[in-house]
Amino acid sequence: MRRPEGEAPARRPADRGFRARTAFLPFSRPTIGQEEIDEVVDSLRSGWITTGPKAERFEREFAAFTGARHALALSSATAGLHIGLIALGLRPGDEVIVPPLTWAATVNMIELLGARPVFVDVHPGTLQIDERQVEAAVGERTVGILPVHFGGAPCDLEALRRVAAAAGLWIFEDAAHGVGTRLGGRHVGTTEKLSVFSFHPIKNMTTIEGGAVASNDEVFIKRLEQLRFHGIDKGSDGNIDVAAWGGKMNLPDVNAAVGLAQLARLDGFNRRRRELVQQYFRRLSPSDVLVLPADGKGHSWHMFCVCIDHAALGKTRAGLLSLFSEHGISVGTHYPAMHLFSLYRQFGYGEGDFPVAEKIGAQTLTLPLFPAMTEADVEHVCATLTAILSGRL
């Protein structure tokens, strides 16, 4: 069980050489200031707390930030994946190519609609979907590619676009990690027909819970609007009609109020993330046991994931998590390879199918990274990890 923030963790003896810490360092923490509080209070006082003017303003400002023509705010990125796949026409029996290194929502929505996820391994260096294997995975029932901008780094969209064009496939970008990520000077999620973003509290910006879809196609975004809210079509005469299914996936104004304040501060948040990441790079040295993530232009650094060869180190990952916890640090494990989960083994997947994703999923540790971290926090994380790798812990 994760120890509540602020509760003093158990410590090893002082002669271990670690400075005393009075607070537990979480894996992630949203940056909430007076700006967010003022926007929320303004919404509460206005009497309009469900979807209204602030949600509409957030959509306009988020579209402007990314460079997309249209954005639609939603209750979650999962909701965006759900209605996005419906709008793209995904049907039972269709196949969608997707990486196994992602959060469950990416693949769950494919399975929910009766389609089949076709997993493709990732590059060992970048952790992004391997476009060379994507081409080989295209079959008669393949209708689209759902790439993930893992960890805030951009995947190779140009290569995927060539594969998609040759086979007549759509591309639906999962940019849940990619708020602020850029590729070739453009924000990800703005060149294909559809993309989805997440504003969960661990992301680079938050609306508490929430997400958005972005598209440059006005007709397509209107279809998504219907799917977002009960399938309702409002006529110019004031009457409404429901011609097809729709859910209830709208983002309330109170959430959008937080998002508006966060969006205005996002560039600063991401600059701070990059500063902290560079400190990690300066203080950690790659080795046969430790693999550091790839750096690169356009990276928004949603996560800083390292891989540790537990067998070579003579420790288990559970043991490593415990050691970090004993020294007041929470680390994550992002992510286990999806194809090994029970739900996806029904499609015939198993150990050895995607060795790169399996190795990463088994060895990855996600180190703390959020704007309110201090240089001393990074130093403590690095000192603890170095002590573990050297056998002093």
pLDDT for 324-345, tens place per residue? 999 999 999 999 999 999 999 9
Amino acid identity, residue 89? G
pLDDT of residue 114: 98
User: Tens of pLDDT along 71-94?
Assistant: 999 999 999 999 999 999 999 999
What global pTM score does this model have?
0.93
User: Tens of pLDDT along 186-243?
Assistant: 999 999 999 999 999 999 999 999 999 999 999 999 999 999 999 999 888 889 999 8
Q: Which of 250, 299, 302 is nearest to 103 (CA)?
A: 302
pLDDT of residue 21: 56
pLDDT of residue 22: 55
* pLDDT above 80 for 252: yes
Q: What is the mean pLDDT of residues 132-161?
A: 97
Produce one character per residue of 334-344: b if its CB has 16 or more CB atoms within 10 Å, e if not.
bbbbbbbeeeb
List every span in the chain annotated with CATH 3.40.640.10.
34-260
User: What percentage of residues in the chain have a pLDDT greater than 90?
Assistant: 91
> The domain 267-389: what is its CATH number?
3.90.1150.10
In Å, the largest CA–CA distance within the chain is 77
Q: What is the mean pLDDT of residues 106-110?
A: 97
pLDDT of residue 235: 85
pLDDT of residue 93: 97
Report the sign of the C-alpha dihedral through residues 211, 87, 60, 217, in that order. Answer: positive
The domain at 34-260 falls in which architecture?
3-Layer(aba) Sandwich (3.40)
Alpha carbon 42 to its chain centroid, in Å, reads 29
The stretches of the chain forming alpha helices (DSSP H) are 34-46, 53-66, 77-87, 104-112, 131-137, 157-167, 218-228, 253-283, 310-313, 317-326, 342-345, 355-363, 375-389
Catalytic residue, candidates 193, 203, 297, 359: 203
**Rounded to the nearest 10 degrees, what angle do helices 104-112 and 77-87 cross at?**
40
Answer for the pair 292, 284: CB distance below 8 angstroms, yes or no. yes
pLDDT of residue 352: 98
List every span in the chain annotated with CATH 3.90.1150.10.
267-389
pLDDT of residue 89: 97
Is 297 in the active site? no
